[in-house]
Structure 1
Amino acid sequence: MDDELSERARLASKACTTTVFWHARRTPGEALRAVADAADGLGVDEWDTYAEKGAVAQVETRVAELLGKPAAAFFPSGIMAQQAALRVWCDRTGSKRVAIPDLSHLLKHEDDGPRRLHGFEFDHLTEGRVTAKADDLRRLSPGLGAALVELPLRDAGCLLPSWDELAALSEAARELGVPLHADGARIWESQPFWGKDLAEIAALVDSMYVSFYKGLEGLAGAALAGPEDLVAEARTWRRRMGGTLFHLTPYAVSALAGLEQRLPQMGEYAAWARSLAAELTGHGLKVSPDPPHTNTFLVFAEAAAQEVAERKVAFMERELVEPCGGWWESRVPGVAETEVAVHDAALAHDPAQVAAWFAEVALG
């Protein structure tokens, strides 16, 4: 997208009176006022201090309860939480080798931080848009310090393993004596796929990271849940990495609000996503996974991404509606793709109407 089109897109998006995907727009003032109202509604009347007490402690207790784990620790970011978890597991096992999907966030979006900061050596648990199975772990050479499974695999369209596949992977990890950590950034959104309690899901792994700003619409923040001794050591790494900010209360309050208000809606988000996906395929678009496993999935169109971007800008300027996110060239020549993420904003729209908008923008 050239500079002129980018500026048109920015202005058109700003002028739109409604959006469909991700969360409804809020100004910083609106978001902060919502946090203040949530603090009053939740009865939060004291600040945390360096991640101790107050709303931070409440979030940690709530997450541990939801996931059925002995303890949880609040982190300002998921990057920090996961690196801390893997560092503790690897220090305990005496090996820096970590089995990990090649599409993992740690490899794709962290500027080589895990290797540079902690010296991890990564073995590919899977390659490409597939989920990990027991045999994938068993085929790796002995001596792993830990294994990571991403639930769901976001860069594969939020792909999830079946329940039996996940249970078999868990059993294999325990047979091999390999600590199994879950990147559960979107575990809240994944739970409806299996129809299991969160604690039953988390019981299949030794530790799990969860995010608060994605489906739960928190300001920021994450938590790491697991055994008490693991979490205690991870807290030490949180301090070493600068994660014990003087006050984390605003983030913790927004996390508590998300758990109360958004968590019960995850099934509705996923159902709306499946309805939209069915409508999109009727218009000649491709979706993956089909049907979607969570509220998030990928859409493919036989078109050039630049042409789709031009049509999207023209649509927004005319209709004052932002009907989809950004598009990029896929690995297949002549095919563009985009990601769909369904939250509250989408529920205000008819999936059939959104699919028609989508097709107009994507296919012309």
Structure 2
Amino acid sequence: MADDDLTARLRAASAACTRSVLHGERESPADAFARLGAACGELGIDSWDTYGDGGAVARLEAEVAELLGKPAAVFFPSGVMGQQAALRAWCERSGSRRVALPDRSHLLVHEEDGPRELHGFRFEHLTTGRRTATAADLLALPAGLGAALVELPLRDAGCRLPTWDELVDLSRTARELGVPLHVDGARLWESQPFLDHSLPEVADLADSVYVSFYKVLGAHAGAAVAGPADLAADLRRWRRRMGGTLFRMTPYAVGALAGLHEHLPRVGEYVGWARDLARELSAAGFTVDPDPPHTNTFQVHAPGRADAVNERLAEFMERERLAPGSPWWDAPVPGLVTTEVAVQGAALAHDPAQVARLWTEIVGLRRS
């Protein structure tokens, strides 16, 4: 079967599934909007925002600022916009468009060169490959940086995190050098259990922090950048300039507030279940990276060919109407396949040992 045909088959099979092992339960647009309506009642949201002022947006910004221990937070319809605005604001202040960041950063890999085309950033690699940043990496770069970005966790390295001491040293060095440190915290909520410090303690190490609302929190879209009050004023200007100050942003804010109240208290459970699954997969002959996982998200490797594994995955979903995980891709090392595990609330209803046995059959590993 051609790759395009298999991809289409996988998508159709996944869409037809009525249950999911790892991700949130499936719901129609009508059900999703009904859930938002119910959340308005539960949260006491009875007024709209107007171009981001007031209503649920103001409440969300206040809650995020308090959660992260920052003076202010600004809502954005997307993390792409929020992070570009934050880096632009810091670079405008410093007079330098040089930004240090990992070579696997979202800004370099997934944004169609937008940050450079729109803002003229000159990117320099803080790290390369699967390694997380240290103070030595920052010290090795020439002086005159406009900002530095660290991704917590480094998603394209299996959601890998630095140790707490490494992060403290990096923060101290950035401040000694006068380099604003921005945290790409798309998965910061999920990183807190591994770092074993409170969210305000983590955020205090950075000058600005971006967080996402649509991943583990389950909102439909949206992000926020938290930092000093004067930075927030700059962020609001850049949000308007970039077309992000929509007339009504209440639906996104309500979804984010509901996620903060429903899912944030349970993130530790999601991370714990991910580690239980990783342990079962390792025992079954899979390679887990990192092992144990640093967050609720990690990578899994196994012998095989992606087309053969995905054929079996499609057959299973078509037969059982259950989505056991994401498709697999051929790893850079010949003869190995890789997938990403991202654990959300639905996983807690499943036995990690049973899921590992299911994956063994789909991948075609022989049981020891």
Regarding TM over 0.5, the answer is: yes
SS at match of 2:276: helix
**Residue 328 of structure 2 corresponds to residue 327 of structure 1:** yes
- Count of residue pairs brought into register by the alignment: 364
Q: Is the 8 A contact 1:63 1:72 kept in 2?
A: yes
CA distance in 2 between counterparts of 1:248 and 1:12 reads 33
> What is the letter of the counterpart of residue 65 of structure 1?
E
Aligned to 2:202: 201
Alignment of 1:28-177 (within 5 A): 28-177=29-178
CA distance in 1 between counterparts of 2:177 and 2:8 reads 54
CA distance in 2 between counterparts of 1:107 and 1:188 reads 23
Alignment of 1:258-269 (within 5 A): 258-269=259-270
Alignment of 1:239-278 (within 5 A): 239-278=240-279
175-184 vs 328-337, greater mean Cα deviation = 328-337
Aligned to 2:306: 305
> What is the letter of the counterpart of residue 333 of structure 2?
V
- The percentage of counterpart residues that share the same residue type is 63
308-317 vs 239-248, greater mean Cα deviation = 308-317
Alignment of 1:347-358 (within 5 A): 347-358=348-359
How far off is 1:217 after superposition?
Answer: 0.3
CA distance in 2 between counterparts of 1:22 and 1:117 reads 34
Aligned to 1:359: 360
> What is the letter of the counterpart of residue 206 of structure 2?
V
CA distance in 1 between counterparts of 2:83 and 2:8 reads 36
How far off is 1:106 after superposition?
Answer: 0.3
CA distance in 1 between counterparts of 2:254 and 2:79 reads 17
CA distance in 1 between counterparts of 2:153 and 2:11 reads 31
How far off is 1:12 after superposition?
Answer: 2.5
SS at match of 1:21: coil
How far off is 1:24 after superposition?
Answer: 1.6
How far off is 1:318 after superposition?
Answer: 2.6
> What is the letter of the counterpart of residue 178 of structure 1?
V
Q: Is the 8 A contact 2:24 2:344 kept in 1?
A: yes
Which ranges in structure 1 are unaligned for 5 or more consecutive residues? none
Aligned to 2:220: 219
- TM-score, scaled to structure 2: 0.97
CA distance in 2 between counterparts of 1:261 and 1:273 reads 19
Q: Is the 8 A contact 1:96 1:144 kept in 2?
A: yes
How far off is 1:203 after superposition?
Answer: 0.3
Q: Is the 8 A contact 2:18 2:26 kept in 1?
A: no
Aligned to 2:192: 191
CA distance in 1 between counterparts of 2:247 and 2:321 reads 42
188-197 vs 285-294, greater mean Cα deviation = 188-197
Which ranges in structure 2 are unaligned for 5 or more consecutive residues? none
> What is the letter of the counterpart of residue 278 of structure 1?
R
35-44 vs 312-321, greater mean Cα deviation = 312-321
Q: Is the 8 A contact 2:45 2:56 kept in 1?
A: yes
> What is the letter of the counterpart of residue 317 of structure 1?
E
Q: Is the 8 A contact 2:154 2:161 kept in 1?
A: yes
CA distance in 2 between counterparts of 1:317 and 1:31 reads 25
Q: Is the 8 A contact 1:301 1:363 kept in 2?
A: no
Aligned to 1:318: 319
How far off is 1:320 after superposition?
Answer: 2.5
**Residue 27 of structure 2 corresponds to residue 21 of structure 1:** no
> What is the letter of the counterpart of residue 323 of structure 1?
P
SS at match of 2:60: helix
CA distance in 2 between counterparts of 1:16 and 1:350 reads 19
162-171 vs 323-332, greater mean Cα deviation = 323-332
CA distance in 1 between counterparts of 2:190 and 2:354 reads 24
Q: Is the 8 A contact 2:3 2:307 kept in 1?
A: no
CA distance in 2 between counterparts of 1:244 and 1:160 reads 33
CA distance in 1 between counterparts of 2:318 and 2:257 reads 37
Deviations 1:301-331 (A, max 9, x none): 1111111101101122233221110111111
8-17 vs 53-62, greater mean Cα deviation = 8-17
- TM-score, scaled to structure 1: 0.98
CA distance in 1 between counterparts of 2:8 and 2:110 reads 26
> What is the letter of the counterpart of residue 352 of structure 1?
A
CA distance in 1 between counterparts of 2:7 and 2:139 reads 48
- Cα RMSD of the aligned pairs, angstroms, is 1.0
Aligned to 2:211: 210
